[in-house]
Amino acid sequence: MTYQNFLAGRWVDGDAALAVEDPATGQTVAEAPLAGEATVARALEAARASADRGDLAAMRPQARADLMRAVAREIRALAVGGAPLLSRESGKRLSDARGEFDEAAAYFDYYGGLADKIEGKHIPLGPDYVDYTVYEPVGVSAQIVPWNFPVSLAARSLAPALAAGNAVIVKSPELDPLAMTLLARALQRAGVPEGAVSVLNGLGREAGARLVAAPEVDQIVFTGSVPTGQAVLRAAAETVTPALVELGGKSAAVVFEDADLDTLMHSVRGGIFFNAGQVCSAMSRLLVHRSVYARTVEACAALAKGLKPGHGLDEAEHTPVISAAQLARIEALMPTARHDGAVIAAGGARLDRPGHFMAPTVIADVLPSARVAQQEIFGPVLCVTPFDTEAEAIRIANGTEFGLVAGVFTRDLSRALRTAHRLRAGQVFVNEWFAGGIATPFGGIGKSGFGREKGVEALYNYVRTKNIAIALHG
Ligand code: NAD
C-alpha cells in the first residue's frame, strides 16, 4: 500500500519517502510520504484561505456539531483496519491501538457536543450602551503531534479546533504516521470542507520547523519533548504567535503506609508498563513510606519480571519501545542509576530478541537527586524511593523541573486531599493512576508545558475573545 499526504481535501504524493519500521521486528511496515517545503507551503495557503473564507466558522454551530459527530462515526468505522496498522508501526498492543481510535472518536463526539455551546457574555455598561463578547475561532491552527499516541493525541487538539471553527494543519510524527492517514480519511468521508484540514507527514526539522515559523499560522499547538518545545516557542516568539506546549513529565506517585497494595499494583502495571512506559504522564517515580517500602519494591519487581514480551498484535504483556535510538537512550541511563547509588531490582537492560525491547525495569533506592529521578526516561522504567514523612514525600515529588501529573495512594481521605493540593502538577490521581479522561483538563506546570488540553476548558484554547461595545446615543 502507498501512503499519501492529505493536503486540503486531496491526497498527494510525498516529496520523499521514509521507511516506517515495526519496532517489534525491525522490518519495514511501509514507506511514509514526507511533505517537503512546497507541500507545506500549499497546505498553509489552503488553510489560510479556508480560515479567511470561514469554511467552518460560518457554518451554523449545530451543523458543525453534526459534522464532528460524523467524523467520530467514520473514525470508529476505520478503526477495524487502522488499529492493526497502528499496532504494527508503533509497537503497541492491538487493544491499546483500538483504544486510541476509540478515544479519537470520543474527542470528536465530546467537542461536537460543545460546538453549539460556545457562548459569549453580555456586559452591563448602563442604559446608554450595549456591550457583549463573542468567541471567534483563532484562524489557522498548526498542530504538531508526537509518536507515542499519534491518533488520539492528534484528535485531542484537532477536534476542539475544528469544533470551534478553525482551519487546521496537523503534522504527524515521522516514526509512526501511517494510521493517522485514516484520521484524515475519516475527516474527508465525514465531509469536512476541503481546505479546512491538512494532515501532513514530514521531518520535524523541515516540515515542523517550517509550519511553526509560518506567518500564515495564528496558533501553534505542540505536543512533544522539552527541547523541541523550546525550539517551537523560540519560533513562536519571532512571529508573536500564541503557542500551547504540552511537554514531558517525571510524575510521582506517593504511597502512604495504609495504601492498598493490590490497588497500587494495578496502577503500577498501567502507570509505568502500559505502552512500554512511553506515556508523558507515566508513573515514572514511586515514593513509598519506609514502613511498607521493602514489600512494595518486591511486588513491583515481581510484576516487572512476570511481564511476557512479544508482538503488540499478539496482545503481548510487554511491547517494544519505538526505535533503536530510544532503546539506546533508555539503556544508557542504567549505569548512571548504579553510579548514583541505586539498585536494579528488575530488568535494567535490553532483552535479547529482535526488535527494540527494554526489559521492564524497577530501580530501587533511587536518591531524589539521581539522574534517573530527574530526567524523563520515556520507557518501562520505574524509580522507587523511600520517605519517612508526608512533608518529605511532597518535597521529593515536587523536586523536579516537571509538573505534569502526580498521584496519592492512601485510604485516609484527609491526607489524600491535603497531599493532592500540595503536589505541583496539573492533575493529581488519588488511588488510581490515569483516573480521569477526555473530559478532565490535562496539562503541565514548569517544563511540562502550559495550557490545558481535554475537557470544556480546552475548547477555549481555540477561540479568542472579541468585545463589541455599542453606544446607543450616537
Ligand atoms: P519530539 O519533540 O521529538 O517530537 C514531537 C513532534 O515535533 C514530532 O512530530 C516532530 O517531528 C516534531 N518536531 C521536531 N523538531 C521540530 C521543530 N524544530 N519544529 C517543529 N516540530 C518539530 O517528541 P517525541 O519524541 O515525538 O515525543 C515524546 C515526547 O513527547 C516526550 O517528552 C513526552 O513526554 C512528550 N509528550 C507530551 C504529552 C503531553 O500531553 N504533555 C503527550 C505525549 C507526549
Three cell numbers at 92? 503497541
Q: How far is the CA of 45 from the centre of ligand 1 (A)?
A: 25
The three-state secondary structure class of 361 is strand
As a whole number, mean pLDDT of residues 333-349 equals 98
Residue carrying C-alpha cell 504522564: 281
Please state the domain extents for the chain. 5-246+448-468, 251-436
CA distance 57 to 95: 36
Q: Whose CA is nearest to atom 37 of ligand 1?
A: 247
Q: Is the pLDDT of residue 174 over 80?
A: yes
Q: How far is the CA of 246 from the centre of ligand 1 (A)?
A: 9
As a whole number, mean pLDDT of residues 374-382 equals 98
pLDDT at 227: 97
Give which of 185, 188, 221, 198 is closest to 67, Cα–Cα. Answer: 188
pLDDT at 178: 98
pLDDT in tens, 189-223: 999 999 999 999 999 999 999 999 999 999 999 99
pLDDT band at residue 1, thresholds of 50, 70 and 90?
A: confident
Q: How far is the CA of 247 from the centre of ligand 1 (A)?
A: 7
Class of domain 251-436: alpha beta
- Helical pair 150-163 and 94-114, crossing angle rounded to 10 deg: 10
Q: How far is the CA of 466 from the centre of ligand 1 (A)?
A: 32
Kindly state the percentage of the chain with pLDDT values over 70: 100
As a whole number, mean pLDDT of residues 73-102 equals 98
Q: How far is the CA of 151 from the centre of ligand 1 (A)?
A: 14
Q: Order of strands across the sheet with 251-255?
A: 343-346, 361-364, 381-387, 283-289, 251-255, 405-409, 427-430
Phi first, then psi: what are they for 142, rounded to 5°? -100, 125
CB 75 within 8 A of CB 101: yes
Ligand 1: atom nearest CA of 227 is 2
Q: Where are the beta strands (DSSP E) in 357-401?
A: 361-364, 381-387
Ligand 1: atom nearest CA of 442 is 40
Name the residue of 148, 200, 217 whose CB sits within 8 Å of the most ligand 1 atoms, as the mutation to test its pocket: 148
Q: Is the pLDDT of residue 474 over 80?
A: no
- Give the angle 198-204-206 at the CA atoms, nearest 5°: 85
Ligand 1: atom nearest CA of 444 is 41
CB 198 within 8 A of CB 4: no
The pocket around ligand 1, CB under 6 angstroms, is made up of 144-148, 153, 171, 173-174, 204-205, 208-209, 212, 223-225, 228, 231-232, 246-249, 280, 376, 378, 404, 444, 449
Q: Whose CA is nearest to atom 43 of ligand 1?
A: 280
DSSP of 49-77: HHHHHTTTTTS-HHHHHHHHHHHHHHHHH
Residues forming the active site: 246
Give which of 94, 131, 140 is closest to 312, Cα–Cα. Answer: 94
Ligand 1: atom nearest CA of 224 is 30
Residue 249 is classified by DSSP as -
Q: Is the pLDDT of residue 473 over 90?
A: no
pLDDT band at residue 76, thresholds of 50, 70 and 90?
A: very high
CATH among 3.40.605.10, 3.40.50.300, 3.60.20.40, 3.40.120.10 for 5-246+448-468: 3.40.605.10
Q: Whose CA is nearest to atom 14 of ligand 1?
A: 204
CA distance 254 to 251: 10
Burial 445-468 (b: 16+ CB within 10 A, else e): bbbbbbbbbbbebbbebbbbeeee
pLDDT in tens, 230-246: 999 999 999 999 999 99
pLDDT band at residue 472, thresholds of 50, 70 and 90?
A: very high
